Amino acid sequence: MEESRIIYNIPFVIPFGAYIATYFYITGLHMGFYTTSVVASLMGKVEWKPIGKIGAVGAVVILATAPLFLLIDLEQPARFWKLFVYLNPASAITWGTFFLTTYPLIGLIYAWHVLRGNKVPAIVWGLCGFPIAISVHGYTGFILALSKARELWNSSLSPTLFLVSAMVSGLAIIIIIANIRIRYFTSQSSEEEKKSDSRIVNTLIMMMIIFIIIDIFLLGCEMAVLGNSTQDGYSMYKVITTGTLGFWFLGVELFLGEVVPLAMLSFPHIRKSMVGQNIACLLVLMGIFVMRMVIVIGGQSIPLH
């Protein structure tokens, strides 16, 4: 009897923790930075150049920190080289390894051309790096979607949901940085230039609003399917709505992180206020971070044994 107890008393271990969730969050910010920068470069307008520079530099800087969380999560970082030796073409992790090593070089070249004002080379390198930039974050959604035993992860919507939420968070942080630039580094600008900067920020805000609405729609679809699927799916649905993660999912991620910012930005006087914009964007960033935590850690909250 004692031997049976020892054999079957298997501890419940969560393999993907906060480090992985943070890594997903950082790569999402990177994709938002890079995509916005490439769009600004393609527009080719002088007034969009500061946004292009912010996005290009921000993408490189923030992605440089992402692998650190993967190395810490390995617990034995010295073994990271095995990811390049033991390859599996059918594995999203293998592809992700090469995306993470290929993009920084392209990103640096792109950022260099953007900062130098080389329009055509910037567009060429920006477009070359765009599929890889998307893949750097998109593959994380594929990793989760391929986990058939995890009801919250095993969804064809996971990659799309990750990409859309990445754009939301990326736009939010770019808006904050753009406002800091306008507030502290454009005091000598003409009134026309200041108005132009305000119009650009307003365009970014409208883009963020659109992506937030899409994100809410995708979350709604995900929850509708989850709550009406298998028994395990319904159990997972209860955990993140009325269970232990209900406060974080409904209260923080959905309400504070998406509904409240949408409500705030629906009022013209708040949408035109730099303070109001920054508060809304900070709430968005908090909500997307909690989203990563809920999906990664919450998705493993139901034991498989």
Structural domain including 285 reads 14-298
Q: Look up the CATH number of the domain holding residue 61.
A: 1.20.1630.10
Residue type present at position 66:
A
List, in sequence order, the alpha helices (H) in the chain: 2-8, 18-43, 49-74, 82-85, 92-116, 119-145, 158-185, 191-226, 231-241, 246, 260-265, 268-271, 274-293
pLDDT value of residue 95: 77
Alpha-carbon distance of 252 to 265, in angstroms, equals 18
Query: For position 1, what pLDDT does the model report?
Result: 46
Residue 86, CA distances (Å) to 96, 120, 144, 149 in order: 14, 39, 21, 24
Structural domain contains residue 303: no
Rounded CA-CA distance 198/196 in Å is 5
The pLDDT assigned to 172 comes to: 96
83 in any annotated domain: yes
Whether residue 8 lies inside any domain: the answer is: no
Q: Is residue 63 part of a domain?
A: yes
Q: Give the count of domains, the chain.
A: 1
* Burial of 109 per CB tally in 10 Å (0-12, 13-18, 19+): middle
Q: Examine residue 167 and state whether it is found in any structural domain, yes or no.
A: yes
305 lies in some domain: no
pLDDT at 72: 83
What tokens does 91 get?
């594995």
pLDDT at 214: 96
CA 234 to CA 70: how far, in whole Å?
A: 31
Residue ranges of the chain with per-residue pLDDT less than 70: 1-13, 304-305
Report if residue 9 sits inside a domain. Answer: no
Residue 160 lies in a domain: yes
> What pLDDT score was predicted for residue 115?
93
